[in-house]
Chain A
Amino acid sequence: MLEIKNLVVQIEDKRILNGLNLTVNKGEVAAIMGPNGSGKSTLSYVIAGKEDYEVLDGEILLNGENLLEMEPDQRAAAGVFLAFQYPLEIPGVASMTFLKATLNAQRKARGEEELTTPDFIKRVNAAAQQLEIPKDMLKRALNVGFSGGEKKRMEILQMALLQPSFCILDETDSGLDIDALRIVSEGVNALRSPDRAFLVITHYQRLLNHIVPDTVHVMHSGRIVRSGGKELALELEANGYADYRDSEAA
């Protein structure tokens, strides 16, 4: 599904990713763990297509298509979804307006008919109910005045509506209390399917108790330095990232 080969990325002359290789298969939930500054968020932004990053080498293929040649909206239409670590507030844009615009833009890009308003509202209500999002929240401007937990739930709501094939969760657990973590995780788990892959970026093992990964990758200094099964997350939780700092020094 997703193949990243020898990805080298810098921002303002600072090298962040140093020949990163990663493969995520269809139906797989892959977790990326790593210390602060290892390049996890950069990786998510580069996959989604943020402009500030300069890709010096390598490629990112989604189902064989080169994402690096696409604009962010084209990547979204191709199936990429990034749940932001810090979802942005957009004053003046009602959440419903935003949801409808994005959903229809993606449908249009894929040559599908636009949704009728009743159909759209039905879908939103169903998804919102599952994520315990109250209706009045959807009437407010997008993310404006939302709590950290509400913002994250809104991200998952968007994911549920847009039905992407490759989902990146960038530290979705940050800022969540225990209940919100459960709700968000259940929302994500409900979307797991043999046709959909996830890249779950996190500092902590805690999230992975709720969203159990198939594979765990350790990222350090812009590279994947170790890969394994879900037990690797427990090992990291116990030992920290110190081992990898040593390997970097050597």
Chain B
Amino acid sequence: MADVTLMKTPAETALAQAFESAKTLLPGNVESRAQAFEKFTARGLPHRRVEEFKYTDLRAAFREVAPFAGVPTAEEAKAALAGAKTLAGIEALQVPFVNGHFMREAVDFRALPENLEIVPLREALANDHEWLAHLSPVPWAAENPVYQLNTSFMADGVMIRVAGPVEVPVHLRFVTAAETAVATATRVLVVVEEGASVTLLETHESTDGAGHQPNDVVELIAGDRTNVQHVRVNAEGGKTLALSTLAARIGAEAVFNSINVVAGAATSRHQVFALLNGENTNLRVNGVTMLKGLQHADSTLVVEHNALHCESRELFKTVIDDEATGVFQGKIIVPHHAQKTDGRMMSAAILLGEGGTMNNKPELEIFADDVQCAHGATCGQLDDDLLFYLMARGLPRKEAESLLIQAFLGEALEFVENETAREALIGTVEGWLRARS
């Protein structure tokens, strides 16, 4: 076979240059970054002919690469955090990031809740902290180009250790507040030890006017008999290109419940890679996506049942207005040894106008013979008969539509255990509906 020299896009060239100039300045081991970047470079930015990126062409989305954000000044950080309102009504331990940098001044390390430890990632990388061994808990996530980019460029983040029950939720608050477009790469590692429990809130916000390029990875290692509740909100600004990954490895008899609510960003892709690594574990991954204008949102999910008797449930609800595009790709993998698996995955979308698009791609890869797996995908409009019924009772069309949309999305929100968080998410849905009418 002849050697093929791959042409680089301007964005790929810019990324290579950025990596060359940044790699020695970034904290920690250059080798592991270089390896990740090499893997990324071998295939480049994924485009529509790459199966997993068929519906979200990153080569097309990244016309140019924004410069990586520097550390904000104290005033900039303060202003940015003051303006961040997503899930602000929930009493929680704030772990804020501004422009991709952990704001350690905002955390009182001497007064952390019981059973909780936090180590700034920058320090950990520089000191070769022992917890670094826990990074990359889902081995095959490392094959993903978005993840590889994060590994190459990750500049900051935190490592959190949960050693027992933590009562107060931990709020990972990501704010990008630069006036001109910046790129960020943040990594958060959460290690939940055997029998421990924690609620993680994760919110992403950015200024509206600039095409920021955040690439955030949250990694979770949850031990046996752990309970982790995770509520994530994408409230990014209207021009932001937001890439994110949740990689989770869960032990036996554990519960992990994650929801991602997407209301923001011009283009977003949230990837969930979950590895069920112990028996009798219960996983729920839900999504609520609300899109309008020319927004594009991709929810990509791979769940591997790597042990007996695990249950996984995925419910994704998408509402698409105007000419927006939604993507759902969900894959459940059940190898030979994962007998008695019970997996159910559902994606349902409602198109409100004529111009919207929904791409649903559910996949099952089942090698075991004693399993129950189901998937479904629907795409439709609001039911005219229901609309008429509501209007005949006096509700104007938009209100009738709002009520039906709320009911449709509400099904996926029901599983949020933290009541205040659930109410706040319902408020997010209501806000989106109000903006539309």
Interface of A with B (CB < 8 Å)? 48-52, 71-73, 75-77, 80-82, 84, 87-88, 90-93, 97-98, 101-103, 105-106, 109, 141, 158, 162
Contacts and interface: CB of A to CB of B under 8 A. Distances in A.
A81 B392 CA distance: 7
Interface stretch (B244-252, B329-337, B405-413): B405-413
What 8 pairs across the A-B complex have the smallest Cβ distances?
A92-B407, A76-B394, A72-B391, A106-B394, A102-B393, A88-B389, A73-B391, A105-B394
Contact of A51 (B384, B386, B395, B411): B384
A206 B365 CA distance: 60
Interface string B381-411: 0001110111111111101100110111011
21 contacts: A48-B392, A71-B391, A72-B388, A73-B394, A76-B393, A76-B394, A77-B394, A80-B392, A82-B392, A88-B386, A90-B386, A90-B389, A90-B403, A90-B404, A91-B407, A91-B411, A92-B406, A102-B393, A102-B394, A105-B395, A109-B396
A98 B403 contact: yes
B330 to A, nearest CB: 22
A225 to B, nearest CB: 28
A71 B397 contact: yes
Nearest to A75: B392
Contacts of A105: 393-396, 399
A93 B391 CA distance: 15
Interface string B102-140: 000000000000000000000000000000000000000
B388 A51 contact: yes
Given A92-B411, A93-B403, A162 B394 contact: yes
**Chain B contact patch, size range:** 20 to 34
A102 B183 CA distance: 47
Interface of B: 384-386, 388-397, 399-400, 403-404, 406-408, 410-411
A111 B411 CA distance: 34
Contacts of B393: 73, 76, 98, 102, 105-106, 158, 162
Q: Interface centre among A52, A72, A103, by most B CB within 10 Å? A: A72
A76 B386 CA distance: 15
A102 B391 CA distance: 9
A88 B394 contact: no
Given A84-B389, A162-B394, 6 more contacts: A51-B388, A72-B388, A72-B392, A92-B408, A98-B393, A101-B399
B410 A92 contact: yes
Contacts of B408: 92
Contacts of A93: 403-404, 406-407
Nearest to A80: B392
Contacts of B386: 88, 90
Contacts of B404: 90, 93
B429 to A, nearest CB: 12
User: Max chain A CB contacts within 10 Å: which of B384, B386, B396?
Assistant: B396
A166 B397 CA distance: 21
Q: Which of B393, B400, B410 has the most chain A CB within a 10 Å cutoff?
A: B393
A96 to B, nearest CB: 13
Contacts of B394: 73, 76-77, 102-103, 105-106, 109, 162
A227 to B, nearest CB: 27
Contacts of B389: 84, 87-88, 90
A84 B391 CA distance: 13
B396 A73 contact: yes
A8 B403 CA distance: 34
A109 B393 CA distance: 12
A90 B403 CA distance: 10
A104 to B, nearest CB: 9
Contacts of A109: 394, 396
Contacts of A101: 395, 399, 403
A101 B393 CA distance: 9
Nearest to A109: B394
Given A49-B392, A84-B389, A73 B411 contact: no
A72 B388 CA distance: 7
A102 B392 CA distance: 9
Contacts of B411: 91-92
